Structure 1
Amino acid sequence: MRTDHIVRSFAQELQRLANLVTQMGGVAEAQVDAAVKAVARRDVGLAAQVMQADQRIDAYERDIDAETIRLLALRQPLAQDLREIVSALKISSDLERIGDYASNIAKRSLALAQVPVVRPAVAIPRMGKLVEQIMKDVLDAYTERDVAKAIAAWERDEDLDDLYTSLFREVLTYMMEDPRNITPCTHLLFMAKNLERIGDHATNIAETIHFLVVGAPLRGERPKSDGSSFAVVSPESDDKGAGHAA
């Protein structure tokens, strides 16, 4: 009977740990959504809330760190139980970084709200929507232990990279057309990069879910198509004096 009690108690502790990760994921997801809305609405009040709420995500990470250390020391878990604990630790680290990037986007939106609107800004909510969908899918996959859903989200990172590359080229063109666009476009580039990095951390979580459920790393090369490193924008002499994305 005592052994059964210990097993039940450990299962409950693992479930509490998983619940902490799920709660942290919900906060991170809300932070990304709010940060993108702050950009789209030029809402400095909402941006400030996002920056202040980053402390909640940090607190979750500290709690998960403490709980995983306690469980490892007291329970000496093996196999699936060990993967549950290690995965919680890895996922919380990715979620903490996602919270940092959301805070960075909010911080940039404060500066962006002080300058005239530039057309490429509409691409940020579009990127944000895709990032939020990927995050939702990986967090649902974690709750449901659904490997297929995790892999599907992992594969969508390529779509996010395509959006980022397209925005990168458009923003460079705008900066060449008018020096007054340099300041807002620079902030947009950093925001877009932050969203792209959030997508990378979401795919990290998808890979961790695969390890958690299957017990082996996800095979195959991560789908990446970020072409921004190779983007070249050359001035084109025409009647409008517009730039041309190469």
Structure 2
Amino acid sequence: MAIRTTLDKDLDRLKELLVEMVNLSKTAVEKSVQSLAEQNIEMAEQIIKEDQKINELEEQVNNLIIQLIAQQQPVASDLRTIIAGLKISNDVERIGDLAVNIAKSVIHIGDGQLIKPIVDTPKMANMALNMLNNVIKAYIEKDIELAIETAKADDEVDELYGKIIKELLELMPSKPNSMNQISQLFFVCRNIERIADHTTNMSEHIIFMVKGKNVDLNA
């Protein structure tokens, strides 16, 4: 009984660390897109510095998982929870890295006049962030249906991504002196699209955690 109690406490701690990682990553994405819309270089630089906090949390998750496997006696369902936690932490850490990539693009763009209003890009980011909100809720509640619905929203992100890329491509012939900015806006949109992809991965890990089944929600 003592072993089970300790294991349950450690699994709760794993969940707490993952939720904290998601919240930090969400904030980083929100601020990175805000820094783009406002061309706020100082905010972008701060995002890059604060990424270390997410990396440190991932290390704590990894250390806890090693401890869980080495010292506890996880049954099959516990082991799935542990493995899913490891995979989710990796995806969340990557989302933090993608927010840093966006911040770096903001710094490269600088404070020069933007070639077009930044409207659809924050919209796409909000869609990806909504997915992230839903997927962590699905993780906490072990809600498979919500995980599946969250993954489906990736199609809408992809559609808007395609629309923005098309618009940027159409601007290139008439804006030959703005190729650096256009390239950086490409990168920003690609990074946001990847955030949605990682969130879809997290949905797959949740289904594995609950059902023990590997599914491909990107199909």
4+ residue segments displaced more than 6 Å: none
Q: Which has a greater percent of helix?
A: 2
Query: 2-side partners of 1:74 and 1:152: how far apart?
Result: 36
1:26 aligns with 2:23: yes
Aligned-partner Cα distance in 2 for 1:160–1:65:
31
Residue 243 of structure 1 corresponds to none
Query: What residue in structure 2 maps to residue 222 of structure 1?
Result: 218
- Count of matched residue pairs: 219
Could you tell me the percent identity over the aligned residues?
34
How many Å separate the matches in 2 of 1:112 and 1:209? 38
CA RMSD of superposed structures (Å): 1.3
1:231 is matched with which residue? Answer: none
Cross-structure match for 2:50: 53
Report the secondary structure of 2:111's partner residue.
coil
The aligned residue for residue 12 of structure 2 is 15
Match for residue 92 of structure 1? 89
Aligned pairs for 1:35-184 within 5 A: 35-119=32-116, 121-184=118-181
User: How many angstroms apart in 2 are the aligned matches of 1:127 and 1:115?
Assistant: 23
Does structure 2 conserve the Cα–Cα contact (< 8 Å) formed by 1:68 and 1:85?
Answer: yes
Say if 1:143 and 1:17 are closer, same or farther in 2 by CA, change over 3 A: same
Name which structure has the greater RCO, CA cutoff 8 Å, separation 6+. 2
- Separation in 2 of the partners of 1:144 and 1:175? 46
* Alignment-mate amino acid for residue 41 of structure 2: V
Cα separation, 2, equivalents of 1:30 and 1:168: 25
TM-score by length of 2: 0.96
Question: CA offsets per residue over residues 56-101 of structure 1, 9 Å max, x none?
Answer: 0100111101110111111142211001111110000001111000
Q: What is the TM-score with the length of structure 1 in the denominator?
A: 0.86
Q: CA deviation at 1:43?
A: 1.1
Question: Structure 2 counterpart of 1:62, which letter?
Answer: E
Instruction: Please tell me whether the aligned partners of residues 174 and 181 of structure 1 are also in contact (alpha carbons under 8 angstroms).
Output: no
Q: Which runs of 5+ in 2 are unaligned?
A: none
Residues 89-98 or 41-50, more deviating = 41-50
Give secondary structure in 1 for the equivalent of 2:22: helix
Letter aligned with residue 90 of structure 1: K
Q: Which residue of 1 aligns with 2:186?
A: 189
More deviation, 107-116/126-135: 107-116
Once the two structures are TM-superposed, the CA of residue 145 in structure 1 deviates from its matched residue by 1.3
Shift of residue 120 of structure 1?
Answer: 5.8
Partner Cα distance (2:218, 2:35) in 1: 31
Contact 1:32 1:102 in 2 (8 A): yes
CA distance in 1: counterparts of 2:110 and 2:120, whole angstroms: 16
TM-fit CA distance, 1:49: 1.3
